[in-house]
Structure 1
Amino acid sequence: ALAVSIVGGFEGLRLAAYPDVVGVATVCYGETRGVKLGDRHTKAECDAMLLKGLQEFERGVLACTTAPMPEKRQVAMVSFAYNVGTGAYCKSSVARLLNAGQPAAACDALLKWNKAGGIVFPGLTRRRQAERALCREGL
């Protein structure tokens, strides 16, 4: 439920496909896989797509994170992976630092991921700050 609210809030809901800031066809809550401009979905379809996507990204995060994570840190990592992709998460300094037992540094490293196409976006900066705050809860 927390992941749905966080990711859904940052991604926003768009029922018709549109090009994102770097030109990738995107629909619903930031879904890009298999999307073509002109695609349309109902809110119910988008909600189901978000839940399925979050489950897939959670599996990806858990597959490459060996360190134990409290629930809120895990939600922050799933939100991050949903936005940048599981491959990027798994190869990131964020995952490396978590796995090295340095959760505070890992949470802080999220802030470096505020660019799309090499350009800093205020929305990504806000998202990373929120993910960092969630990640650091309990440290």
Structure 2
Amino acid sequence: MAISKEQAERMLLNDVQCFEPEIQRLVTTPLSQNQWDALVCFTYNLGAANLESSTLRRMLNAGDYAGAAAQFPRWNKAGGKVLGPSTRC
């Protein structure tokens, strides 16, 4: 199946909009636009359930922004294998 760039962007936007309410529900601390974007990417790729149960979220909600940021590299595997840089946000 082939789709246009415009179709792909519309599909991505629709998908992303599904995750925004989940982030709003799960994260109780103020976020910068970059932090918000990183959590949308995280949730898009890993799901809201993983965000909900993560140490990343617990640290973020506790106000430990640096600690939360340090958690992102821990989520670099799929099926036990380290993913390459092209598969990250």
TM-score, scaled to structure 2? 0.87
RMSD: 1.7
**Alignment-derived partner of residue 118 in structure 1:** 80
Q: Which runs of 5+ in 1 are unaligned?
A: 1-39, 132-139
> Which portions of structure 1, spanning 4 or more consecutive aligned residues, are displaced by more than 4 angstroms?
none
Match of 1:86 among 48, 62, 80: 48
Find the residue that maps to 2:30 and give its secondary structure: coil
Would you say 1:42 and 2:3 are equivalent positions?
A: yes
Q: Which has the higher contact order (CA 8 A, sep 6+)?
A: 2
Q: Give the strand-richer structure, 1 or 2.
A: 1
**Alignment-derived partner of residue 107 in structure 1:** 69
How many residues are matched? 88
| 1:106/1:116 CA distance change after superposition, 3 Å | same
Q: Which runs of 5+ in 2 are unaligned?
A: none
Match of 1:72 among 11, 14, 34: 34
Identity of aligned residues (%): 34
Following superposition, the deviation at residue 41 of structure 1 comes to 4.8
